[in-house]
Amino acid sequence: MRIRVVAEVKPTEDHQKVLAAVMRVFPELKLNLRERGGVLEVYGESDQIASLKYLKENLRRRKVRAAAERIMRSGAGDNYVRFALSKQAAYVGTVSFLEEDEVPEIGGIDVYVETADPEELIRWLTAR
């Protein structure tokens, strides 16, 4: 399993606040700032499923597992699951999924998980 999280820091944003937002949802990830193609990004990577533990717990507490499952299934492929989360919601410690047609101008937190069994990952994250 390989988990990658990327959030672009827009010119109008404070990079420390974007870093804090990502850290609140993915506290187990080691996060870094990097510049790629002239764009500043918050970036983190892990091979540990524990990196998704806060995300799983937040979905359970907020009772949004069915919606999360639908969105993750729409972003799943043969060996991956990808989805985007709201930076604003993450900043206050809440998980809010973004549909592809509703990504705000400031962007979101892009999550990409390579896994041999995307269906099992989705079931684990959204278990009732």
- Residue 31 belongs to a domain with what CATH number? 3.30.1440.10
Q: How confident is the model at residue 14 (pLDDT cuts 50, 70, 90)?
A: very high
Q: How confident is the model at residue 103, as a pLDDT?
A: 61
Res. 117: pLDDT tops 90:
yes
In whole angstroms, give the CA distance from residue 108 to residue 73. 18
In whole angstroms, give the CA distance from residue 22 to residue 95. 10
Query: How many domains does the chain divide into?
Result: 1
pLDDT, tens digit, 9 for 90 and up, residues 19-47:
999 999 999 999 999 999 999 999 999 99
Q: How confident is the model at residue 100, as a pLDDT?
A: 73
Domain extent at residue 69: 2-125
Q: How confident is the model at residue 128, as a pLDDT?
A: 73
Q: Provide the whole-model pTM.
A: 0.92
pLDDT, tens digit, 9 for 90 and up, residues 58-105:
998 888 888 899 999 999 999 999 999 999 999 999 999 998 766 667
DSSP letters, 48-61, are: -GGGGHHHHHHHHH
